[in-house]
Structures are given as structure tokens and as C-alpha cells.
Amino acid sequence: MDFLETACEAARIGGRILDEWAHKFTAREKNPSDLVTEADVASQKAIFEFIEARFPDHRFLGEEGLTHGDESCPYRWVIDPLDGTSNYVHRFPYYAVSIGLELEDELIVGAIYDPNRDELFAAAKGQGATLNGEPITVSERGELGQALCMASLPVRTTREHPAVQRFLRVLEAGQHVQRTGSAALNLCGVACGRIDAFWSQSLKPWDMAAGVVIVREAGGLVTQIEDGTFDLEEPNLLASNGTDLHGQLVNVLD
């Protein structure tokens, strides 16, 4: 059974569940400003059951309390059943389902489905990245002064927080800096050239796993901000089109 096809089908299944719950969910705070709805939980359950039926030996990590499988298995699915829950709750149509697959700590497959635009972003290592089946590539913009950049900031943060200070520095240097509420869709935006760069220092593995594969396969570059090596277990990510823009952002952010 094909891993990429499975990830894509599972992402669409999750998207259908988000649609079904869109007019009847209730939201609660897991932590201050950290929301969860029945849709997050139902989407994760459906995705897990679908993939697990095909790959019963595989391991799973999902945002809504999902850890499953034997540590000895080299495959691990990393699932965000709803990335952008705050947008979903407020009916701002910018959220997605994100499903990545690791083989021995290397990200090999990613699928992210945006149910509002019916857009499925997908990639497998060495096979390129696609949007609804068509190949995608990153942008060519190499100047921070002309770039559209996205950032994720920690919630309920203070103005003195280093992440806010970094945001302000890029605001001074870049043409446009935005926040959207979905790290997964920001990574898709980088992959298809709608966005030139995205950074955050407060992400979880499920926010990044699928998107990292998609950006890389679209020709982009993913590192940590202070370190050229990306690590899924670290909250720190800088994704860009891989032009000079990457170094310019490192200089401003670091």
C-alpha cells in the first residue's frame, strides 16, 4: 500500500469530519488560548483508524493525546487533525489537516488538506511536491525588502518576549509580515510560492511534519533559525524559498 496515497486519503477524511462539525462544535481551552473542539478529536480518530487499518504495526503521534505503537517500528505518523483551531472556532476559513510520515526519524511523506479551498498539498521524498496533483515550486524572490513573510508567535505572550522582538525586527526590514493561525498552511504557502518565508519558535512536531516534506520537495529550505539543521523535536523552524532571503532572515532574526 502506498504511503503518500494513504496520507492524502486520510487528510481528506479528516477534512470531511471538520466540515461535518463546522456548525455544531463546542470549543474549550486545553490551556489558556489553546482551543480544542469535538472536530479535532473526531478528525484524529478517523485518521488514526483509517491509517492503522492499513499499517497496524506503525507508530502514531497526534496532537489530541495520540501516542500509539511499538517503539521498535521505524515508521511514525505525525498527525495534526486540525491545524488552525482558533480560526476554525471563529469561522475564519484558514485551517487544515496535516499528516506526515517519518521513517527512522527522517520525514518521507506529507499531506495537508485545506477543506475551505479543496486544496490538497502532498509530497514524498524524492518525488516532488504537488497541489491537487499538479507540481508546485517555491518562489524566486531573494530580497527581504520585497518578500511576503509569515510568522507564528506564542499565545498570551508579552511585548518583551524574544519572539515579539524578532517579529518587530522583521517588520522593520521586510515588505510584509503576516500572522495567519495555521503553520501547516503557511508551509504550504511557502511550497507553492504564495509566501516567501515562514518562521516560528513555538511549534510542535505535528504543526511541522507534513509541511517540511512539502516545502523541501518544492525546492525550499527548512532549518532552525540559529542552526542550519532542522529537528522535528525542536520548536524552532525557518522555511523559505531557499534563495538569499533565507540568510537575510537569519541575520535579522538571530
Residue 100 buriedness (CB in 10 A; 0-12 / 13-18 / 19+): buried
Q: Name the closest residue to ligand IPD (Cβ).
A: 152
**By the rule CB under 6 A, 243 interacts with ligand IPD:** no
- Residue type for position 127: Q
Our CB check for Ca ion shows the closer of 169 and 204 to be 204
Our CB check for Ca ion shows the closer of 142 and 181 to be 181
Instruction: Kindly provide the residue ranges of all beta strands, DSSP E only, lying in 6-165, ordered along the sequence.
Output: 27-31, 34-37, 59-62, 66-68, 75-83, 96-103, 106-114, 119-124, 129-131, 134-135, 148-152
Q: Among the residues of 106-238, which ranges form H helices?
A: 162-173, 183-191, 205-217
**By the rule CB under 6 A, 183 interacts with ligand IPD:** yes
User: In this chain, which of 69, 128, 142, 181 binds ligand IPD, going by CB under 6 A?
Assistant: 181
Tell me which residue of 172, 238, 229 sits closest to 211, measured CA to CA: 238
**By the rule CB under 6 A, 114 interacts with ligand IPD:** no
Distance CA 223, CA 7 (A): 24
Distance CA 22, CA 89 (A): 8
Strands 34-37 and 66-68: unpaired
Distance CA 80, CA 205 (A): 9
**By the rule CB under 5 A, 196 interacts with Ca ion:** no
- Which stretch, 81-89, 111-119, 125-133, 140-148, contacts ligand IPD (CB under 6 A)? 81-89
The binder of 157, among Ca ion, ligand IPD, none, by C-beta within 5 to 8 A per type, is none
Strands 176-178 and 148-152: parallel
Scanning residues 34 to 53, which ones bind ligand IPD (CB under 6 A)? none
**By the rule CB under 6 A, 85 interacts with ligand IPD:** yes
Alpha carbon 143 to its chain's center = 24
- Residue type for position 173: A
Distance CA 245, CA 138 (A): 12
Residue 116 DSSP SS3: coil
The binder of 9, among ligand IPD, Ca ion, none, by C-beta within 5 to 8 A per type, is none
232 labelled ligand-binding: no
- Closest separation between CB of residue 112 and ligand IPD, Å? 11
83 labelled ligand-binding: yes
- Closest separation between CB of residue 183 and Ca ion, Å? 6
**By the rule CB under 6 A, 203 interacts with ligand IPD:** yes
63 labelled ligand-binding: yes
The binder of 43, among ligand IPD, Ca ion, none, by C-beta within 5 to 8 A per type, is none
Alpha carbon 148 to its chain's center = 18
How many residues appear in the chain?
254
User: In this chain, which of 112, 207, 216, 249 binds ligand IPD, going by CB under 6 A?
Assistant: 207
Binding site for Ca ion (CB under 5 A): 63, 80, 82-83, 207
**Binding-site positions:** 63, 80, 82-83, 207
Q: Which residues bind ligand IPD (CB under 6 A)?
A: 63, 80, 83-86, 152, 181-183, 202-203, 207
Residue positions in the annotated binding site for Mg(2+)?
63, 80, 82-83, 207
